[in-house]
Structure 1
Amino acid sequence: MSSTDSEVQRDELDALTSILDEAAFEIDKQAEITQGTLIIEVTLPDQFHIQYHQNQHRRTEFLPPIFLRFTLPTDYPSVSAPSFQLECIWMTDEQLQILSDNLKTLWSDNCNEPILFLWHTSLTAQTLEWLNINATLDLTQSFPSTISKLSKPQLTSAQVAATINNYEREKKLILLSRTIVTCPVCMGEVYGTDCFSCYACSSVACKACIKCFLETIITDGEVKSITCPINPSCKVELTPAQIASVVDKETFHRYDRLLFQLSIDSMDDIIYCPRCQNPVIVTQGTDDHLRNTLGECATCSFVFCTVCGKTFHGVNPCQYTENQLKDIYKDYQNASAAERRAIEQRYGKSFSRLMDDMASVETIQTTARRCPQCSIFVDKLEGCNKMTCLKCRCYFCWNCLRELSKTNPYGHFHDPASKCFNKLFEGADAVNW
């Protein structure tokens, strides 16, 4: 290496070190010959999208960088060009070759001059132009949607899109850490390192405010579908990693446990043991009613009926509480035809009778009213609004359910101060005097 080439190389590397930060320029100081890596981020237009499935695309602000790994020969730049290799996860070998050819052309036009910085700026500004990419990076043209066993090892378009998405998130967090932000919740100014940023909409608020919000809803047990707490229009759910980055370990443990319990509850073949509350796998979907209703807990060995939760009673009908009957009846009324058949099969031969009983109770509760003294249901088929309870003989007003005087029950309807004044026959059919 001539002293002139050595000095030019040293000056060029010093200049790159001063211009580019450590994340954009690396030198292997242990190598016998000068080699390193330029890490180049491509400049994107304002409205830039990536397409990863047919008719599926999303906007992106950053793409993973191009890695230009170079080696400087001893006679660079007076005689030889740097040897180099390009790598980029969202490009094909053909696209990388196009960029390589353009870099070689730049060397031909500027031979005997330091070229690394020109390569860096050109790749930054002209990569999309050289690859004939305008506003959309169509990954479906460069990467397959699926990989078969016979295909060579490579990424799918969806996997490349996921890599781009992850890089963009990390890039935004790095940029956020270098800024001071005004929290839209408490209006305080905080460093970006003390902020929370939503992956989906990029809304930002201080971690203290987000921590308070998340801890409140997790303490209340609302762990399903926690969406962006900053932007109400953002309906994307927060990831467990996002929540763990804000709340303390105890709160996250509660969140994780409740979320697991919700997932167990959503499984059709899982039921909780009535005795120890541990999950039990049950048999469903068979023609054998006994198998469908038999649950055996592996933890406490309790054998129980999966319908009523009591000790397994075989072919004998279940004994239901009033609240259980109400829940069953409500589920059945809101179910589809297929869901109704499944419910009927689950509860067996006594189901029709149970539904008839509940329908009668439902009708009574809809049309009748409770006596203010003994609370039984009393129905009014006709007549005036002065009612007499058949059980306790209490007089009461059908309109306001107020208990009436035994000696003057009609005074309630003749008193101008009463809200039922002149309403003795309100709502009743016409009366022929």
Structure 2
Amino acid sequence: MDEREEELSSITAIFPELVIQPDDPFSASIELPVAPLAPLNIAFPSAAPPTPPTSDNEGSTYNLGPGRAAGASKEVHQLAYLPPLKLQITLPEGYPAEKPPQFELAAGANWVPENVLKKLVLGGEALWEEYGRGQVVFAYIDSLQQAAERCFDLVDKAEKPLEMPANMKIELLDFNMQAKRRQFEQETFDCGVCLEPKKGSVCYRMLRCGHVFCVGCLQDFYNSCITEGDVSSVKCIDPSCGKDGDGKKKDRTLNPSELLQIPIDKAMVQRYAELKRKKKIESDKDTIYCPRNWCQGFARSSKHPKITDLTQVPDSDSESDSADADNDNKERASRLTICEKCDYAFCRVCLAGWHGEYVRCYPRNAKELSEEEQASYNWLRRHTSPCPTCSSPCQKTHGCNHMVCFQCRTHFCYLCSAWLDSYNPYEHFNTEGTPCYMRLWELEEGDEAEGNARNDMFVGGLRGWEADAVAAHEAANEAAAQELQDEEDAAAAAVLAAGQNQHHAAPPPARNPIQNPNPAPNPQANHRPNPPANQLNANANPAAKRQPRQPAPPAPAQPARAPAAARRARPLPRHAQRAQQPAAHPGIQRFLRMVVADEEDGWDSDELDGDDQAFAIPVRD
């Protein structure tokens, strides 16, 4: 057997992928995979216009993680697999003693520069000389594999990315994904749900955490969650996934594009994306709803754009972007708002139909609820308990009082809305001295079950301040009413006593200030009768105060009953005095009501224009 043929056959036993040409037994070809020891950072020109560099060095700063670097003009991706290196081997006559072997190198997708390939070919001839002109095919293949692990020394430093033209981006990224899939399909995994060993061809590896489950288990679980609307459970099923060093778990839902790769039906993924967006919009305190009662849709917002492409939905963990915040601030600056459901244009301040930017309007009063809204609000207050984190109303139909919010997954007490530790939620019900001590199973059949006195069992929680405020307001009203009643009773008793005294004893004669300069003291001399109703504003006139006091006319000798003038001089109750005072201006009355409600910032002083009597408030003596 020829020495060349013997060498190629022995190499075939080591590398089965070596293919010998059928028409030439001394020629062979092989594809050498390129899998660097560490993923290679490759930079592609970004589609966005380049931005000036932010550092002192020339060029742009790179983000070594996947995706686009902040402030850079290139996209950097980490590739674990690159297109293989194709080696063509020809052993001429006279090899190995007289002639060296002939090598030809080519890289898939032409990602290796030509000068690097020529350098590798010359390295084969140098290796033949180094081996004393002996058989070097195996040694040359081994040297190429070692160079491939170093990525042919194309980059000097591991953290520096290798720049590639934009036309290679799709091909290189697609090859890397397909190579990972082929490698994955050749392995065997134990599914974390059914606990059965499965080939990688019927399994799926989570992109973020790397946990492996069979496709059937993932499809059954995620389809059930999306159908029931439990989008917060569409995440990695592994119980330990997402836990940090403190043992606390961070829930991270899956991106719709990853669900399509499992694969999940596109209609189901569309429903998941819509429910997830709806949940974010409802939990956002800045969300504006359409004022039409039959619509109640969401207003258009750049912060939560409408989903048109499932592959372009941003990740939930990286959605807080400064650009979105700037767009949101611009939308707030403009009062024009458009409903995305019915395209109704309205003002975000007064919720009326759009009236232009230069029309002055005022915010809608929060107390202005429709009959339907008030009924819904009253029902929620009577039959739900709010979550202490997101204030979402929750209702219990059966079970214990340890609740988990469906919106934000917060653990809380249904009786008092207190926050509970997720690792020991029942300590709250076992602590003596608390209102919920030994009350874990109250309302076991639900708060609407027959015989449950909800108002007696509940201890307030987040609405405790509301109940206290209502009780304080009612107590204040009762105290004011009692005080007014006491004043009226005292005034009536005084009038009755004065009438009896005047009936049994005649009043003393009126003293003359000129003829009797030192009269005897009279206990009724300091009594000043109230002025008539038509003279209540006399004290408001300064000139009236400066007039000398006229002496009282002499009283009759001994009347049988008090004269009409004396009856008019009797003190009136306060409510009667207030009834005789002129009514205040409607603007003043509205201002006083707003002061009581702590809403005086919304009062407009223009309501008093054109009325000079608005501030003529009567002054009582």
Secondary structure of the residue that 2:181 maps to in structure 1?
A: helix
1:340 maps to which residue? 335
Contact 1:34 1:72 in 2 (8 A): yes
Amino acid in the other structure paired with 2:176: E
Structure 1, unaligned runs of 5 or more: 147-154, 263-307, 309-319, 376-415
Distance across 2 between alignment mates of 1:114 and 1:137: 38
Say whether 1:9 aligns with 2:4: yes
Give the equivalent residue in structure 2 for 1:26. Answer: 19
Structure 1 partner of 2:136: 115
CA distance in 1, matches of 2:273, 2:39: 38
Alignment root-mean-square deviation, CA: 5.0
Unaligned runs of 5+ in 2: 45-59, 66-77, 243-250, 276-289, 302-327, 380-455, 461-466, 484-621
Per the alignment, do residues 17 and 330 of structure 1 end up closer, same or farther by CA in structure 2, a change over 3 Å counting?
Answer: closer
Q: 2:43 aligned to 40, 48, 52, which one? A: 52
- Which of residues 147, 153, 160 in structure 2 aligns to 1:131? 153
Q: Deviations over 1:106-164 (max 9, x none)?
A: 12212542222111111111353863645356322xx34x5xxxxxxxx45xx1xx544
| SS of aligned partner of 1:359 | coil
Task: Quote the residue 1:97 is aligned against.
Answer: 118
- Paired with 1:418 and 1:69, the residues of 2 have a C-alpha distance of 83
SS of residue paired to 1:323: coil
Distance 1:62 1:20, change over 3 A: same
1:78 maps to 97
What is the alpha-carbon distance in structure 2 between the residues aligned to residue 38 and residue 222 of structure 1?
Answer: 52
Matching residue of 1:237: 255
Equivalent residue letter for 1:13? L
RCO greater where, 1 or 2, for CA within 8 Å and sep 6 or more? 1
Q: 2:196 aligns with which of 184, 188, 193?
A: 188
Matches within 5 A, 1:239-388: 239=257, 243=260, 246-247=263-264, 252=265, 254-255=267-268, 321-324=292-295, 326-327=296-297, 336-337=331-332, 340-341=335-336, 343=338, 347=345, 351=353, 359-360=364-365, 362-365=366-369
Distance 2:33 2:171 in 1: 15
For the residues of structure 2 that align with 1:338 and 1:254, how far apart are their CA atoms? 37
Q: CA separation in 1, counterparts of 2:235 and 2:94? A: 59
2:88 is matched with: 69
Q: Report the equivalent of 2:218.
A: 210
Q: Report the residue type matching 1:96 in the other structure.
A: L
May I ask how many residue pairs the two structures share in their alignment? 302
Q: How far off its partner does 1:328 sit?
A: 6.9
Give, in angstroms, the shift of residue 168 of structure 1: 3.3
CA contact (8 A) 1:81 1:111 kept: no
AA partner of residue 82 (structure 1): P
Instruction: Give the deviation of 1:87 after TM superposition.
Output: 1.6
Deviates more, 1:73-82 or 1:343-352: 343-352
Does structure 2 conserve the Cα–Cα contact (< 8 Å) formed by 1:41 and 1:66?
A: yes
- Structure 1 CA distance for aligned equivalents of residues 375 and 35 of structure 2: 78
Residue 472 of structure 2: which of 407, 421, 426 is its match? 426
CA separation in 1, counterparts of 2:364 and 2:299? 8
Q: Is the 8 A contact 2:338 2:344 kept in 1?
A: yes
Corresponding residue for 1:281? none
From 21, 27, 45, the equivalent of 1:35 is: 27
My pick for the range that moved more, 36-45 or 79-88, is: 36-45
| Contact 2:105-2:121 at 8 Å conserved across structures | yes
Preserved contact between residue 336 and residue 346 of structure 2 (Cα < 8 Å): no
Q: Distance in 2 between matches of 1:126 and 1:40?
A: 11
Residue 60 to residue 347, structure 1, CA distance change in 2 (3 Å): closer
Cross-structure match for 2:581: none
Q: Given that residues 33 and 71 in structure 1 are in contact (C-alpha distance below 8 angstroms), is that contact kept between their aligned partners in structure 2?
A: no
- 1:296-333 alpha-carbon deviations (Å, 9 max, x no partner): xxxxxxxxxxxx9xxxxxxxxxxx85233x547898xx
Task: Check the 8 A contact 2:128/2:135 in 1, yes or no.
Answer: no
Once residues 458 and 231 of structure 2 are traced to their aligned partners in structure 1, the CA distance between those partners, rounded to angstroms, is 50
Calculate the TM-score normalised by the size of structure 2. Answer: 0.39
Going from structure 1 to structure 2, the CA distance change for 1:80 and 1:239 (only over 3 Å counts) comes to farther
Which structure shows the higher strand fraction?
1
By how many angstroms is 1:215 displaced? 2.8
CA contact (8 A) 1:48 1:136 kept: no
Instruction: Name the SS for the 2:255 alignment partner.
Output: coil
Q: Larger radius of gyration, structure 1 or 2?
A: 2
Relative distance call for 1:229 and 1:116 in structure 2 (3 A) is farther
User: Counterpart of 1:254 in structure 2: which amino acid?
Assistant: A
Quote the offset at 1:205 in angstroms: 1.4
Shift, 1:79, TM fit? 2.5
